[in-house]
Chains A and B, each alone.
Chain A
Amino acid sequence: MGLKERKIENDKFLFWLGMFALVSFVLYAPNESKGILGYRTAVIVYVVYVLAFLLLYRSILTKVRTTMNKTLRYLFVFLSVFVFSFVLTVEKFGGTDVYQLVLLCGCLSVLLYEKREWLIIPLTALSMGMGVGYLFLYGNIVPVLLLYRYFTRTDVRRRKYLWLFTLTVAVSVFMFFFHGGFRYFAELTLFSNFRRLGAFVFCFIPYLMMAFSFFRGLIRESRKKICGWILCLGGITSLPMLVLKNQGGSCVFAIFLFYALTIGMLLAMGDLDVIREMKRLKKTLQKWEPIGVFVLVYPVLFMPLNDAFICRTVDCMINLILP
């Protein structure tokens, strides 16, 4: 398939993903917004949010190798199940998470195209200015990718990534302390929803097994093992929000977002180790066909995520089985 045909197919796929976002909005959009700019603005910002993710997907799909194109579509479907519905709860609709995620898409786009990468610093500062929760929930993606790039590049530009990583982290930490630092955790809401979280983790065992197999192969066979460890452990920064702020849904979403986006970005950047592991995973799922497709389908039964009880499915499960 030539580049032009691939772009047309990608655009068709993104059109249907946009339809998925539209239907999610019709189904889940709340009647009010707790954001300070009002309901109408929240709707417009949601549209911008969807477009930001679709454009990011488009960029990644354009840059990725042809053999990985279909695999990435499935990855983006999995991610979009949560991305498009997560911000449609009453608490999140029109809230700071939406703006922060739009800015995150901007950061990832400049990183992907390797143009004006210095914009990552002000965009990160802006995100942190909106809410310091960004540091723990979504602020790990860009630094991990910058560090990954530093360790995997061998040309003269690699030092630039070390500088970008250092400055990004410094700006984030500065903004965190500027906005009160650890006083953010002064009002603690300790996590207590162990049963629901446990049930959710149990339901996602197939994904945990896939992730375990993926990272085991990545760490064992990578040229630079430290990159594998950075990618594997980079997703745990949201745990303080889970434990100390009882934001179970946000934490789960942040973890899904981290791994899906970093793997997508690394595939687009042509990282050979990640490509190798994704091919292996694809082969395993094909061997298990059609059950492999079933595994891809059922996450949608767990949307939308929320902080109160993770999601409706798990809540119903616990109420019926362990009341």
Chain B
Amino acid sequence: MRGDTKKKRVNQILLALLVISGFAFFRFYDAMVDLYNTTLLAFSYKYGFISRGLVGTIFQMVNAVLPMDLMSYDGAMAFTQVATALFVIVMFVFLRKCLMCADEKMISFQSYLELFFVLIAVSMFVSRRNMGRVDIYMIALSLIGTMLIIRKQFEFLLIPISAFAVMFHQGYVFMFFNVLLILLIYRFFTVEKKKKKKYAIIFILSFCIASALFLWFEFFSRMNGERFVEEIISNAKLLSYNGEYHDTLIDHEILGIDLGGVEWDFHKENFVEYPLFLLFMMPYIWIGVRLFGGFIKEAKTKVDKWKYTFVVIGALTIVPNYILKIDYARWTMSIVTYYVVMLLSLLAMQDEVIENVCCSVLLEIRAKAWAPLLFVYLILFLPFYDVFMDQVMHNIGHFLNVNWLHLWEHY
């Protein structure tokens, strides 16, 4: 396929994805920013190098620069809408990059993967629970970093990118950092000897700086919270839709209060609903296992086997979150983002083993009885929430709890 024909086809696919994103936006948009995400905008580095302070700092800097007063719910909504739009733009720039860099025979497969990702991401981050969630900044930064790795340009920027991402939310080290780290490992194993040093240095520096920032935010940044908590609460009330603020967020991130006991009820609900969710998701899990298992199986050398093994197990960084925290839907989004971005990136880098396995799995999927339902069925489980997986699982869990289990008391 000539270059301009490929470009035309890619642009057509992106236009179709954009149209579907538009419909997904209208379908799932709640025109609301939840208490949690407005309260976060009240955090700022003027109170010190506090946990999750970056987004509030940016918001308050923009407020200082612009002639209008953003310290209201309407201002918070406007800021969030712009941020979400920028996230979508970054996502589409990434998707285009992957399509343009990949071999033309992989365009169909990549398009289906991109449709899968776009549906989940757009629906999740325009719905009420996740609109303005800092995850969009973290994913956007990971996508930018991934593009730099694919382009093999300015890869040193991964170091400040990782740092900024942790400053948005220290959970980045478990959620979306794995994409960049594993791609660096992949590059390390793939390039010739004289270039390995560069990737090793970038890996070590990114890892160390991100880890240091994580340790600071998690264990040392909450020491003087009482001095400025009242001001944060007062600003949070201005920014919210109902004049309230998210009390558990401030308790945990500003005052350093442990929420473990409070969250156990939600853990119980997740322990019931999540296995059921995985059961409903069997077709997608099957596809993932066939693909990523296939990469290891088809690897020709020992180095390749290690390379693909790292690719497969890279998502395990999210496991501590499943044990310690309750936002199972966000952890699921993190896993989906990891595997989708990984696959798109490796196809963009024209890895032959990846291409061959993807082609054969696509043929297998087409022969399956459930193939026509693949995307249509998925949409019923959207949007992903935060604590509860989605409305379907929440309805099932609620029914089981009320009629049989009686394990939790919240609704």
A residues touching B (Cβ–Cβ < 8 Å)? 9-10, 12-13, 15-17, 19-20, 23-24, 26-27, 70, 73-74, 77, 81, 203, 289-291, 293-294, 296-298, 300-302, 312-314, 316-317, 320
A73 CA to B19 CA in the complex, in Å?
Answer: 25
Contact of A26 with B372 at beta-carbon distance under 8 Å, contacts A294-B17, A313-B23 already known: no
* A17 partner residues in chain B, CB cutoff 8 A: 373
- B376 adjacent to A297 (CB under 8 Å): yes
- A20 adjacent to B396 (CB under 8 Å): no
Contact of A27 with B27 at beta-carbon distance under 8 Å, contacts A19-B377, A293-B112 already known: no
Sorted nearest first, the 5 A-B pairs with minimum C-beta distance are A12-B369, A290-B111, A13-B369, A16-B370, A297-B375
B190 beta carbon closer than 8 Å to chain A: no
- B115 adjacent to A74 (CB under 8 Å): no
Contact of A294 with B372 at beta-carbon distance under 8 Å, contacts A16-B377, A301-B27, A301-B379 already known: no
* B283 partner residues in chain A, CB cutoff 8 A: 16
- B372 adjacent to A289 (CB under 8 Å): no
A77 CA to B373 CA in the complex, in Å?
Answer: 7
Please report whether the interface of chain A is mostly helix, strand, loop or mixed according to DSSP: helix
Contact of A16 with B369 at beta-carbon distance under 8 Å, contacts A26-B396, A293-B112, A300-B379 already known: yes
Shortest CB distance B80–A (Å): 15
Shortest CB distance A256–B (Å): 15
Known contacts A81-B376, A203-B23, A291-B13; 18 further A-B pairs (Cβ under 8 A): A9-B369, A23-B381, A23-B392, A27-B392, A27-B395, A73-B372, A77-B372, A77-B376, A289-B108, A293-B112, A298-B23, A301-B26, A312-B27, A316-B26, A317-B26, A320-B26, A320-B29, A320-B31
Shortest CB distance A294–B (Å): 5
B12 beta carbon closer than 8 Å to chain A: yes
- A294 adjacent to B115 (CB under 8 Å): yes
A24 CA to B373 CA in the complex, in Å?
Answer: 13
Give the total number of A-B pairs whose CB atoms are below 8 A apart: 95
Contact sample, A vs B, 6 pairs, CB 8 Å cutoff? A13-B369, A23-B377, A27-B380, A27-B392, A300-B376, A314-B26
B280 beta carbon closer than 8 Å to chain A: yes
Shortest CB distance B33–A (Å): 16
* A290 partner residues in chain B, CB cutoff 8 A: 13, 107-108, 111-112, 115
User: Quick one: which of B366-411 are within 8 Å of A by CB?
Assistant: 369-370, 372-373, 375-377, 379-381, 391-392, 395-396
Please report whether the interface of chain B is mostly helix, strand, loop or mixed according to DSSP: helix
Contact with A along B1-44 (1 / 0, CB 8 A): 00000000000110011011001101101010000000000000
A312 CA to B28 CA in the complex, in Å?
Answer: 9
* A16 partner residues in chain B, CB cutoff 8 A: 283, 369-370, 373, 377
Contact with A along B268-283 (1 / 0, CB 8 A): 0000000000001001
- B370 adjacent to A298 (CB under 8 Å): no
Shortest CB distance A46–B (Å): 15
Contact of A74 with B27 at beta-carbon distance under 8 Å, contacts A291-B13, A300-B379 already known: no
A222 CA to B369 CA in the complex, in Å?
Answer: 33
* A314 partner residues in chain B, CB cutoff 8 A: 26
- B380 adjacent to A20 (CB under 8 Å): yes
In the complex, what residue of chain B is closest to A19 when comparing beta carbons?
B377
* B375 partner residues in chain A, CB cutoff 8 A: 293, 297, 300
Q: Determine which residue in A19, A297, A312 has the highest number of CB atoms from chain B within 10 A of its CB, and name it.
A: A297
- B23 adjacent to A26 (CB under 8 Å): no
A297 is contacted by which of B20, B27, B381, B391 (Cβ under 8 Å)? B20
In the complex, what residue of chain B is closest to A23 when comparing beta carbons?
B380
A300 CA to B24 CA in the complex, in Å?
Answer: 10
- A23 adjacent to B27 (CB under 8 Å): no
* A9 partner residues in chain B, CB cutoff 8 A: 369
Shortest CB distance A89–B (Å): 16
- A298 adjacent to B20 (CB under 8 Å): yes
A32 CA to B167 CA in the complex, in Å?
Answer: 48
In the complex, what residue of chain B is closest to A71 when comparing beta carbons?
B372
Shortest CB distance B53–A (Å): 32
- A313 adjacent to B27 (CB under 8 Å): yes
Contact of A316 with B27 at beta-carbon distance under 8 Å, contacts A9-B369, A297-B375, A300-B379 already known: yes
